[in-house]
Amino acid sequence: MSTESTHLTIFFFNIIFISTFEPSISIAASSPKFPCSGPRYSSFPFCNTSLPITSRARSLVHLLRLHEKISLLSDNASAVPRLGIPAYEWWSESLHGIATNGPGVSFNGSIPSATSFSQVILMAAAFNRSLWSSVGSAIAVEARAMTIMGKQG
């Protein structure tokens, strides 16, 4: 697989994976809840699951305008309403500790800190499902422990 193909695959995977499986997606008013949903958006080639992933990724990158590509690279990726891609807040997945995911958590002597994992785009680039599962389990254990200690967010 070429470098360009690898980059396109990672980019596409992140957009679709995060937008589809993250429950706390911030939705723009004119965007669907999930990408590729509804007849208006499902006809885009990047939504066609029968196409190879590299073709779908190329399609998405080709359809995105420069300012849209740039807006997807920040910690709060903007929606792309014309393509049906919802907005996403990267800091809402608890990879950087439960404390940074909402109000109410403050560290003190009983809970000095939370684990901070790599950013979503790096985790996804590992293409390692067992790693994702382990990270999710660690976050769940910390969240439960903080709840038991009365420090939930």
Hunting for tokens 């910690």 — which residue is that? 75
Give pLDDT, residue 90: 66
Give pLDDT, residue 23: 42
User: For the chain, how many residues are written?
Assistant: 153
- What is the rounded average pLDDT of the residues 101-124? 70
Q: What is the DSSP string of 84-148?
A: TBPPEEGGGSSTT-GGGSSTT----SSS-----PPPHHHHHHT--HHHHHHHHHHHHHHHHHHHH
For the chain, give the mean pLDDT: 77
Q: Output 84 or 119, whichever has higher pLDDT.
A: 84
Whole-model pTM over 0.75: no
